[in-house]
Structure formats: structure tokens, C-alpha cells
Amino acid sequence: MSQSPLMNRPAEPDVTIFVCLTCRHASEEGVRPGKILFDAVQMRLAGRQDSQVALRGVECLSVCKRPCTVALAGPGKWTYVVGDLDKEASVDDVLEAALKFAATPDGIVPWRERPQSFRKGVISRVPPLSKPLEGA
């Protein structure tokens, strides 16, 4: 008996961290801060066994004036876009926010539990496709 192709799909990660690799600060000619942030997060994830965390570099999250920019997304969860992150100082915040996001059923981390940069830098949140919204 053949299996459905869906049965062979690897489990979706609880969180995918998208990092824009292409933004630039006007004052830093040639430097791509998102690439520096991406490399640092990738290095930190390589030393962990968190299979529920995935990392992807992307070209533009349409928040070009607020680098570094990232998005946190996961199945059945709200997607958060966050900007104004620092390429070096925000590495721990990105990992902390991603792990807290992954641990929620809906992606909503209480404001007080978010790292400081994720309290200040939220640009938007987008509802999940797969769940009905409360009050809708």
C-alpha cells in the first residue's frame, strides 16, 4: 500500500524566523546588518537541538527603513513582523522571542514576556490562515 505524499512530509517547525538579508542603514554603506544578524542566529541555532526552530533568510520584508527586520511565523499562529533590531545586540532577543513564540498555541506572547526589542519593534501582526478569529 502506498502512502500519501503528505505522510512523508517532515513536521513543520513550531516557529520559522525570517530575517531580511538585504536592508541597509543609510549611514552604513555596503553593510547588510540583516545578514550579520542572520549569520549570528544561525550559528547559535547550530549549537542547539531545537528542531522546532527554523531559520530562513529573505530578500525584503517591506520594512526597509527599519533594519534589521525579522518575522516570526508558525502553523496556526499569528505572524509578527518586527523591526529596529540590532545586528549584534538583538541576537539573544531574536532567539528568546522565537522560543517563546514556538511555545504558544497561537503565536501570541504576552507583552510583558517579550524581550524589550520585541515590545518596541513590532510593526504588524497577521492572523493565522488555519484558525477562526475570536469574535469573527
Q: Using CB under 6 A, which of 31, 43, 60, 89 touches ligand FES?
A: 60
Question: Total residues at the site for ligand FES (CB under 6 A)?
Answer: 10
Question: Residue 58 or residue 99: which is nearer to ligand FES going by CB?
Answer: 58
Q: Could you give the CA distance from residue 128 to residue 121 in angstroms, rounded to a whole number?
A: 20
Burial of residue 106 (number of CB atoms within 10 Å: 0-12, 13-18, 19+): middle
Q: How far is the CB of 67 from ligand FES (least distance, A)?
A: 6
Q: Could you give the CA distance from residue 102 to residue 95 in angstroms, rounded to a whole number?
A: 10
72 is a contact residue toward ligand FES (CB under 6 A): no
| SS3 call for 29 | coil
71 is a contact residue toward ligand FES (CB under 6 A): no
- Cα–Cα distances in angstroms (integers) from residue 14 to residues 10, 33, 78, 98, in the given order: 12, 26, 12, 9
Q: Using CB under 6 A, which of 55, 63, 81, 102 touches ligand FES?
A: 63
61 is a contact residue toward ligand FES (CB under 6 A): yes
**Interface with ligand FES in residues 7-26 (CB under 6 A):** 20, 22-23
Q: Using CB under 6 A, which of 28, 48, 51, 64 touches ligand FES?
A: 64
Q: Could you give the CA distance from residue 74 to residue 3 in angstroms, rounded to a whole number?
A: 26
Closest to 15 measured CA to CA, from 106, 134, 126: 106
Q: Would you tell me which residues interact with ligand FES (CB under 6 A)?
A: 20, 22-23, 60-64, 67, 69
